[in-house]
Structure 1
């Protein structure tokens, strides 16, 4: 310790005024330039074959740097207080030698690889003055057979210079520490290093198989083609067969199968069952989050109204609110804040008067941002603090005579993947609120979920969402990009759960007196459930149904209790016999028929009951060794379709609760159901055919066997549903479903601007939008040159060297930009403007003839 303290003190006490400059040159090129400047400048560090640092007097260093720049070499002045490892250190060597003489040295316990003898006093004295030879260290590591190097420090200073081995830094300035550390470990892991992942993965975490495509979620498989209308020219025999089945065309089927009269008569009897089975196999969908290319600008205009919790400085929402305020103001918006109590905002008329009072007629109201619910968590379900405000807010905005778009802001309310835990399921209710707000008022309305790390990049993505001209209004901003949710077709007709899934222990089913609960219980017993605990608030229907299940061979227990009442539910759970412990929970009571409310004895609303019951089931079974935890919910939470007993806010929360559990390493499956019929009719409501319960419930086995967090089961009439949905939600949600594609308006992508079209395209845009267009153009070509699967993975603020550019790939990028812009760029254009953002600003100046507002001239290099 005394050595380190003395070294730092003496080096700081050395004469100031010196400079250090990093140069892109070989040592053999730099040393001849130092002739005649001895005692004034020297090589301070050799990091690699083409990366050095020179240090010394400012004037002398300037001479060397000028020569190198004349040779086309890139230079960058370092921010330092002294010229370390240069002649400026000569004055402290004698005193430092006296300190070193009093230090005892012994061989290190941990192996050390160094450019010198670290147990030698002379080495430490020389090290203050002489060059740091990182290149020698790397050479020795290679000789020892080292394959991976981790840099432990505040930033990536040395890792980029590692060649021949896998080099990674565990910390990067301005980037999330945990994510950076994990990426560094993953990098060295795939290059052969042994990483003890047990130190990172909690003991209770579930291990899942890797996906069949990279974590960037780029799909490398061909999309399913849009359905083709049946005609005589089709060659796909299987598709033709099933189309004949769906049409009930007995004559064509008999001809195709070459059946005689007797066989055709048998086929006639089973044809309706075949058609029903085929239709049921097409009811399942999945949900995936896909990256969204930013299509909005970063420049905001007009006045933005920001609703915040009262005393925002002391609430959980202070950080995102303060951050968003800065983001909006930096991008040109005028922000008006209005503190509102989310639990008691007053009536719509009172809130309208408050909104009108804080606004002026000077600028148009461009948008409304509600931050008032931030801080609501999983246990805040009884009072639903965010609900009171957001039930009256759309009407209040109408009373304030504004049609500005409304944005609900959440944080941690959704999960875009297994590496993105859902931390605040209570806020997920706003995702349902946003959907019903659009349906009810017709006002443009959206919801955006913020990341945990609120930095400059997130600010750019947030502002791009707010200015997106294409109307993506249900998005999640993350460090890896902006994501939107897609409905995907799921194939497979299996109806059995995974082996052993429900073969032992007690299975609890809520809503035992409702249609979904009863169908779920029947299916569970038929598929191996030996003991069932039926829970219902109404006792009258349970005995008869329990008798039915007993006849199927199950032991049936019943409990007359309200699952939303924590004490009553706890008592029912405590009565489960020890010899048959609870293994499965199916919360079917959240999806009830429209008649249930009329028989309820609780004073709670249906929404309060559904949420409270789910939370109680989750918390009271945390100590049980559950194999399965299933929650039924309605498609209204996904599509925003109102109906009897439906509450989009509740169903959005229920799905979020499952993702929250999975993030904690607990089992969880959410089944989102479309319409069920009570007597088998095929009525169509809001583009949804009513599904026969006996057929619909088969999808429960498919959902459990798939291992997915969320499964959507609905019989959708896409021709009727698409026009209705397009007016209330983003088309991107259903754009990936083949059956929906023929009914969606075609959106042709704008061709990439060529040299002749680019200036004209820039002329019609604001300065900020011009730079945004050029930035995306550069980003796309940089991704192609580097081999990235998506342009969204290219960090626009990172140095080109950090991104992995070499002199060859930088030249390739330059050539591509010359082609698309029509400009004649110098070979060093990329390194002269070392980030994508800087290069975009330079291209704009060259194409338009003026710098972007606020652009600063370069000061380094």
Structure 2
């Protein structure tokens, strides 16, 4: 993209030493200018005098305790920074630029998979952007960020960019058609294998359990939920599927608990090995950025992030035909009031990138809103649905959603937005 000429920037660095963002900011730019001041935290920044017009904060993954744990740690830290920034009126006229590394794949082919920990933090910031237009910017860098490139990015008004070799890339959706397949392998599902569906007795889980039986001839299902057969409708669903000649196991399992997932997988019979995973599980705990707590983050991250990572690691050597995770447009566009949900789903999108880079099956279905007959939007009223329509997104019917599922699986793509837009 063409960028405007750089203007003089009043810039500071938040929470990093001079070997971090400050060094990369100086490296490509005005070597004769004043050093960029570095502040240990937000308090020291605001107490140093007027807050500069641009403040940079680096969001990087420590990876000390493992991937899932690192997601909880980094998103909690970023949430603290966001909340402190929004709560202090002295920051009201400044922009906070979150600098990440490897959080997205951009540029030419051959770039490695995204870092799912950093991707989750970026999802959280995208929701903050939705709630507070113009106050936050996301910049993902490879090596350097010159002051001139930063100035051009800020002048462009783009909320998120990636800088690769001094070039600036911006995210855009592209329509997937039968003639524009992504080039990935489309693997067949063995009807005699077992298909595992998390959230398998919920609205979407039950919908897709019926679908893979009717359309893909699957004869062995492992439906998993926290309550198992005690979940509402679970007994009826099992009886319905058995009546169609399907062998169905409904298991109570907390898929965010690695030991429980390992025990669950160990119980899959050898004569019907695991063929595919469809991870639909998820919960909502909506709230705007100022109102979110660390607990609100954890309760939404666990069934998405922790569960998907355990399933990824524990099925890595099984040669699955498909590993489908149900994501959300909140992680792609940001969703006001859904920062925790956006973070969790942005992680899922990046996890599929990791799997594909390892040669494993993987598809992230980035769902738009579903109609009231399915999904977690089942409780929406007419007012909510009209609000969605005004945003340009039209709710999916069950039939439309199932059709998009088949189209996405057949496309060979890795991350596919499955939504209806009124353009």
TM-score, normalising length from structure 1?
0.42
Per the alignment, residue 388 of structure 1 pairs with 76
Counting only pairs closer than 5 Å after superposition, residues 469-618 of structure 1 correspond to structure 2 as 469-479=155-165, 481-492=167-178, 500-526=188-214, 527-539=216-228, 540-541=230-231, 542-590=234-282, 604-618=298-312
Distance 1:423 1:401, change over 3 A: same
State the SS of the aligned residue for 2:68.
Answer: coil
> How far, CA to CA, are the matches of 2:150 and 2:4 in structure 1?
6
> How far, CA to CA, are the matches of 1:713 and 1:427 in structure 2?
24
Q: Which has the higher Rg, Structure 1 or Structure 2?
A: 1
Distance 1:377 1:331, change over 3 A: farther
Shift of 1:304: 2.1
- Pick from 24, 43, 56: which aligns with 1:323? 24
Is the contact between residue 197 and residue 223 of structure 2 (CA under 8 Å) also seen in structure 1?
yes
Question: Which digits, 9 at most, give the CA deviation of each residue in 1:121-160, with x for residues without a partner?
Answer: xxxxxxxxxxxxxxxxxxxxxxxxxxxxxxxxxxxxxxxx
Per the alignment, residue 337 of structure 1 pairs with 38
Distance 1:645 1:412, change over 3 A: closer
Shift of 1:635: 0.8
- Pick from 659, 683, 697: which aligns with 2:402? 697
Question: Which digits, 9 at most, give the CA deviation of each residue in 1:216-251, with x for residues without a partner?
Answer: xxxxxxxxxxxxxxxxxxxxxxxxxxxxxxxxxxxx
Per the alignment, residue 101 of structure 1 pairs with none
- Pick from 290, 294, 313: which aligns with 1:619? 313
> How far, CA to CA, are the matches of 1:380 and 1:498 in structure 2?
28
State the SS of the aligned residue for 1:559.
Answer: strand
Shift of 1:377: 8.2
Question: Which digits, 9 at most, give the CA deviation of each residue in 1:494-543, with x for residues without a partner?
Answer: xxx96733534111110112212111211111122221111101222333
Distance 1:306 1:335, change over 3 A: farther
> How far, CA to CA, are the matches of 2:29 and 2:45 in structure 1?
19
Is the contact between residue 428 and residue 649 of structure 1 (CA under 8 Å) also seen in structure 2?
yes
Distance 1:304 1:707, change over 3 A: same
Question: Which digits, 9 at most, give the CA deviation of each residue in 1:572-609, with x for residues without a partner?
Answer: 00000111111211111137799xxxxxxx99512233
Is the contact between residue 114 and residue 350 of structure 2 (CA under 8 Å) also seen in structure 1?
no
> How far, CA to CA, are the matches of 2:306 and 2:122 in structure 1?
18
Shift of 1:298: 4.8
Aligned residues: 389
- Pick from 712, 717, 721: which aligns with 2:417? 712
Shift of 1:335: 1.6
> How far, CA to CA, are the matches of 2:173 and 2:219 in structure 1?
35
Shift of 1:633: 0.8
Is the contact between residue 584 and residue 626 of structure 1 (CA under 8 Å) also seen in structure 2?
yes
Distance 1:411 1:627, change over 3 A: same
Question: Which digits, 9 at most, give the CA deviation of each residue in 1:47-104, with x for residues without a partner?
Answer: xxxxxxxxxxxxxxxxxxxxxxxxxxxxxxxxxxxxxxxxxxxxxxxxxxxxxxxxxx
State the SS of the aligned residue for 1:609.
Answer: helix
Shift of 1:492: 4.9
2:137 counterpart of 1:446: yes
Is the contact between residue 304 and residue 333 of structure 1 (CA under 8 Å) also seen in structure 2?
no
Distance 1:715 1:319, change over 3 A: same
2:326 counterpart of 1:632: yes
> How far, CA to CA, are the matches of 2:252 and 2:408 in structure 1?
29
Is the contact between residue 429 and residue 650 of structure 1 (CA under 8 Å) also seen in structure 2?
yes
Is the contact between residue 563 and residue 613 of structure 1 (CA under 8 Å) also seen in structure 2?
yes
> How far, CA to CA, are the matches of 2:360 and 2:249 in structure 1?
26
Distance 1:624 1:480, change over 3 A: farther
Any gaps of 5 or more consecutive residues in structure 1? 1-292, 341-350, 595-601, 719-861
- Pick from 128, 136, 144: which aligns with 1:437? 128
Shift of 1:674: 0.7
Counting only pairs closer than 5 Å after superposition, residues 249-398 of structure 1 correspond to structure 2 as 293-298=1-6, 300-308=8-16, 322-327=23-28, 330=31, 332=33, 334-340=35-41, 351=42, 353-357=43-47, 359-361=48-50, 365-376=52-63, 379-382=66-69, 384-398=72-86
> How far, CA to CA, are the matches of 2:22 and 2:136 in structure 1?
19
State the SS of the aligned residue for 1:381.
Answer: helix
Is the contact between residue 300 and residue 333 of structure 1 (CA under 8 Å) also seen in structure 2?
no
Distance 1:448 1:295, change over 3 A: same
> How far, CA to CA, are the matches of 1:626 and 1:480 in structure 2?
39
Is the contact between residue 297 and residue 467 of structure 1 (CA under 8 Å) also seen in structure 2?
yes
> How far, CA to CA, are the matches of 1:550 and 1:480 in structure 2?
59
> How far, CA to CA, are the matches of 1:425 and 1:644 in structure 2?
18
Shift of 1:627: 1.4
Q: What's the RMSD between the two structures over aligned residues?
A: 3.1
> How far, CA to CA, are the matches of 1:376 and 1:324 in structure 2?
24
Is the contact between residue 99 and residue 138 of structure 2 (CA under 8 Å) also seen in structure 1?
yes
Shift of 1:320: 5.5
Is the contact between residue 129 and residue 159 of structure 2 (CA under 8 Å) also seen in structure 1?
no
> How far, CA to CA, are the matches of 1:568 and 1:331 in structure 2?
59
Question: Which digits, 9 at most, give the CA deviation of each residue in 1:166-208, with x for residues without a partner?
Answer: xxxxxxxxxxxxxxxxxxxxxxxxxxxxxxxxxxxxxxxxxxx
Shift of 1:337: 1.3
Per the alignment, residue 172 of structure 1 pairs with none
State the SS of the aligned residue for 1:685.
Answer: helix
Is the contact between residue 636 and residue 647 of structure 1 (CA under 8 Å) also seen in structure 2?
yes
Counting only pairs closer than 5 Å after superposition, residues 843-858 of structure 1 correspond to structure 2 as none
Is the contact between residue 413 and residue 424 of structure 1 (CA under 8 Å) also seen in structure 2?
yes
- Pick from 414, 418, 427: which aligns with 2:104? 414
Is the contact between residue 304 and residue 367 of structure 1 (CA under 8 Å) also seen in structure 2?
yes
Is the contact between residue 376 and residue 424 of structure 1 (CA under 8 Å) also seen in structure 2?
no
Shift of 1:642: 3.6
Shift of 1:369: 1.1
Shift of 1:549: 1.9
> How far, CA to CA, are the matches of 1:512 and 1:552 in structure 2?
17
